[in-house]
Chains A and B, each alone.
Chain A
Amino acid sequence: MATQTLSETRPRTAQAKAGSSGPHWRRHPAWWFLAPFAIMYLLFLIGPTLYMLVASFFNTSLVHDGLGSFAGLSNYAEMLGRADFQSAMWHTLLFTILTVPPLTILAFVLAVLANRIPRGQVFFRLAFFLPFILPSASIALIWVFIYTPDTGLLAMVQGWLGMKPTAVLADPTWAMWGGAAATVWWTIGFNFILYLAALQDIPRELYESAAIDGATPWQQIRHLTIPLLGSTTTLVILLQIIASLKIFDQIYLMTAGGPGQSTQVALTFITGEGFTSNRIGAASAASVLLFIAIMIIAAARQGLSQIQNARS
Chain B
Amino acid sequence: MSTTTLATTTSGISAAAPPARRSGSGLQTEPRAFKIVTRVVLTIFAVLWLLPTLWAIRTSLVSNATASLGAEAVLKDTNPTLHSYSVLLQSGDIWNWYVASAVTSVLTVVLTVLFASMAGYVLSRMRFRGRWLVFMLVVLGIMVPTQVLIVPIFRELSAMHLLNTYWSVILPQVPAVVAVFIFKQFFDGLPKEMEEAARIDGAGPWRIYRSIVMPMSTPVISAVGILTFVSVWNNLILPLYTLTNPKLMTIPVGLATVQGSYGQRLADIQASAILGALPLVILYFFFQRRIVEGFAGSGVKG
Residues of A within 8 A of B (CB): 4-11, 13, 15-16, 19, 22, 24-25, 28-31, 33-34, 36-38, 40-41, 43-45, 47-49, 51-52, 55, 62, 106, 109-110, 113-138, 140-146, 148, 150-153, 155-156, 185, 187-188, 190, 193-194, 196-197, 199-200, 202-204, 207-209, 211-212, 214, 216-218, 235, 239-240, 242-243, 245-246, 248-249, 252-253, 267, 270-271, 274-275, 280, 283-284, 287, 290-291, 294-295, 298-299, 301-302, 305
Contacts and interface: CB of A to CB of B under 8 A. Distances in A.
A284 B71 CA distance: 44
B148 A287 contact: yes
A10 B46 contact: no
B7 A52 contact: no
B137 A41 contact: yes
Given A151-B70, A156-B70, A122 B15 contact: yes
B205 A291 contact: no
Nearest to A282: B151
A287 B145 CA distance: 10
B8 A9 contact: no
Given A45-B175, A141-B258, A29 B206 contact: yes
Given A36-B118, A243-B301, A284 B151 contact: yes
B125 interface: yes
Given A106-B45, A113-B38, A246-B302, 8 more contacts: A29-B205, A34-B134, A43-B156, A45-B175, A117-B39, A142-B270, A153-B71, A249-B236
Contact of A142 (B53, B206, B209): B53
A243 B302 contact: yes
Given A9-B127, A41-B175, A33 B27 contact: no
B248 interface: no
Nearest to B5: A118
B53 A137 contact: no
A150 B70 contact: yes
Interface of A is mostly: helix
Contacts of B236: 135-137, 248-249, 252-253
A163 to B, nearest CB: 14
A55 to B, nearest CB: 7
B234 A136 contact: yes
Contacts of A25: 205
Contact of B128 (A4, A196, A239): A4
A239 B129 contact: no
B56 A214 contact: no
A294 B174 CA distance: 21
Contacts of B55: 142, 145-146, 153
Given A24-B202, A30-B128, A133-B230, A155 B49 contact: no
Interface stretch (B80-88, B214-222, B271-279): B271-279
B251 interface: yes
B205 to A, nearest CB: 4
A220 B288 CA distance: 30
A150 B131 CA distance: 62
Contacts of A51: 152, 155-156
B39 to A, nearest CB: 7
B263 interface: no
Contacts of A48: 149, 152-153, 156
B60 to A, nearest CB: 10
B197 to A, nearest CB: 9
B287 to A, nearest CB: 10
A69 to B, nearest CB: 17
Nearest to B255: A137
Given A142-B53, A194-B299, A249-B237, A137 B171 contact: no
Contact of A127 (B50, B196, B255): B50
B284 interface: yes
19 contacts: A6-B126, A24-B202, A24-B204, A30-B128, A37-B118, A41-B141, A43-B171, A43-B175, A47-B156, A48-B153, A117-B39, A120-B15, A121-B9, A130-B53, A136-B236, A144-B259, A200-B9, A204-B6, A217-B30
Residue among B11, B75, B284 with most chain A CB within 10 A: B284
B38 A116 contact: yes
B9 to A, nearest CB: 6
Residue among A4, A137, A214 with most chain B CB within 10 A: A137
A33 B56 contact: no
